[in-house]
Amino acid sequence: MSRPPRWVDRHGGSQPKERSLALGRVPTVTVYPAPDMNLSITTRPPYAPEIELVERKGLGHPDTLCDRLAEELACHLAVQYEEHTGAIRHFNVDKAVLAAGSVDIGFGGGTHLQPSRLVLVGKAAFNYPQWQPDTEQLGEQFHKRLLEILPDADPNAYTVELWLNKGSDDLAAVIDAETVAPLANDTSFAAVSMPRSVLESTVHAIETRLNDPAHRLVAPVGRDIKVMGARNGDDIFITVACPIMATKVQNRAEYDAAVDGVQQFAEQVASETAGRAVHVAVNQADQEDSVYLTLSGSSAEAGDDGQVGRGNRFGGLITPYRPMSLEAAAGKNPAAHVGKTYHAIGFDISQRLIAETDATETTVRLLSSIGHPVTEPQVAHIETTGSPDPVAVERIVEDCFEDWAGVTRRLIDGEYELY
Domain identity same for 63 and 155? yes
Report yes or no on 106 lying in a domain.
Answer: yes
Domain identity same for 106 and 146? yes
Report yes or no on 206 lying in a domain.
Answer: yes
Interval 208-232 mean pLDDT: 97
Domain identity same for 41 and 138? no
- CA atoms of 99 and 62, how far apart (whole Å): 9
Q: What is the pLDDT of residues 51-101, one digit of tens each?
A: 999 999 999 999 999 999 999 999 999 999 999 999 999 999 999 999 999
- CA atoms of 238 and 230, how far apart (whole Å): 6
Domain count, the chain: 3
- Whether the pLDDT of residue 361 is over 60: the answer is yes
Report yes or no on 322 lying in a domain.
Answer: yes
Q: pTM of the predicted model, to two decimals?
A: 0.88
Local structure of 113: helix, strand or coil = strand
Domain identity same for 204 and 191? no
Domain identity same for 210 and 138? no
- CA atoms of 182 and 349, how far apart (whole Å): 20
- Whether the pLDDT of residue 107 is over 70: the answer is yes
Q: State the pLDDT confidence band at 249, using cuts at 50, 70 and 90.
A: very high
| Domain, as residue range, for 73 | 59-168
Tell me, what CATH number does 386's domain have? Answer: 3.30.300.280
Domain identity same for 63 and 127? yes
Rounded to the nearest integer, the mean pLDDT of the chain is: 90
Report yes or no on 318 lying in a domain.
Answer: yes
Q: What is the pLDDT of residues 2-16, one digit of tens each?
A: 443 433 332 333 333
Residue 2 confidence (pLDDT): 40
- CA atoms of 341 and 329, how far apart (whole Å): 8
Interval 295-320 mean pLDDT: 95
Tell me, what CATH number does 149's domain have? Answer: 3.30.300.10
Report yes or no on 307 lying in a domain.
Answer: no
Residue 113 confidence (pLDDT): 95
- CA atoms of 349 and 117, how far apart (whole Å): 39
Residue 159 confidence (pLDDT): 97
Report yes or no on 326 lying in a domain.
Answer: yes
CB 278 within 8 A of CB 236: yes
Percent of the chain scoring above 70 in pLDDT: 88
Domain identity same for 270 and 360? no
Report yes or no on 178 lying in a domain.
Answer: no
Residue 182 confidence (pLDDT): 83
Tell me, what CATH number does 287's domain have? Answer: 3.30.300.340
Report yes or no on 180 lying in a domain.
Answer: no
